[in-house]
Every structure is written in C-alpha cells, then in structure tokens.
Amino acid sequence: MKFMLMMNAPRGTGDWNIFAWSKAEMDAHMAHMHAINQDLKRAGEFVGGEGLLPPKDARIVTAGADARPQVTDGPFAETKEFLAGYWIIETASPERAYEIAARASAAPGRGGKPLNMPIEVRQVYSAPPVVSEV
C-alpha cells in the first residue's frame, strides 16, 4: 500500500520561524528528518519525498486558449496550514504509515522541543491498468 504523508506548516511564513533557530537547532531538526529517510530506505518503504518552498513561491498554472501555460501567483485559498513537504512511502498497512507520520510530527524545533506538526496521511490511489485494444 502506498501512502502520501504531507507535512503541514502553520499559517504565516510556514517556516516555524526557522530563520531564528540556532545552527544547533536546525542541525537537530534536519538530522531527525534525514534519519527518518534513511530508516525508510533501509526498510524498503521510501518511495520519495521533498520539502517545499512556502506558498509565496507557488504558482497556479492553467492552460490558456492556445494551450500555452497561463501562470499566476494566486489567488490561494485561505487556509490555516499549507503543504511544507511530503513523503511517498510504501507500507504493509495504514498503521505503519501512521507510525512514520507520528515520528515525522515529533521533529525537534526551537530548544529541541518537538514541533508536533500535523502530518496528513492519505493512501495513494492506484488506478486499474489501462487496457489497450490492439
């Protein structure tokens, strides 16, 4: 079963004020995230994952009348949180995905205190194979 774990950032800058963190605090946070990724790779559960830049750097793209991209910087929906990063994992059960999400949620922040950030867990939909008629 594949799951997407989505790390949600708080409203505002979404960076938990990371630019005010000490180097040691940032190093501890990143070490936590890298350890999760390494453990998932060793277990064969890691499919992919990345951190994302904040919404101010996001763009909305639609196809114009000529099918060329029409790019705008909004509007964005009013939300309390936004997507800050994600993992795609493959596990034997939803419960295992929840364990991984809880571990990610507890990443250390300022003063080493766990951020307890919300991690949304959604199963990846696997569409039936396309049958081609030959």
Q: What is the pLDDT of residues 70-117, one digit of tens each?
A: 888 866 666 667 788 899 999 999 999 999 999 999 999 999 999 998
In a domain, 81, yes or no: yes
Domain that residue 93 falls in: 2-123
CATH code of the domain containing 34? 3.30.70.1060
d(Cα 47, Cα 3) in Å, to the nearest integer? Answer: 10
d(Cα 122, Cα 129) in Å, to the nearest integer? Answer: 21
Supply the mean pLDDT for the chain: 87
Tokens of 110: 């300022």
Write down the pTM of the prediction. Answer: 0.80
Ordered strands of the 119-123 beta sheet? 46-51, 81-90, 2-10, 119-123
In a domain, 130, yes or no: no
Total of domains in the chain:
1
In a domain, 133, yes or no: no
In a domain, 14, yes or no: yes
Mean local confidence (pLDDT), 3-28: 82
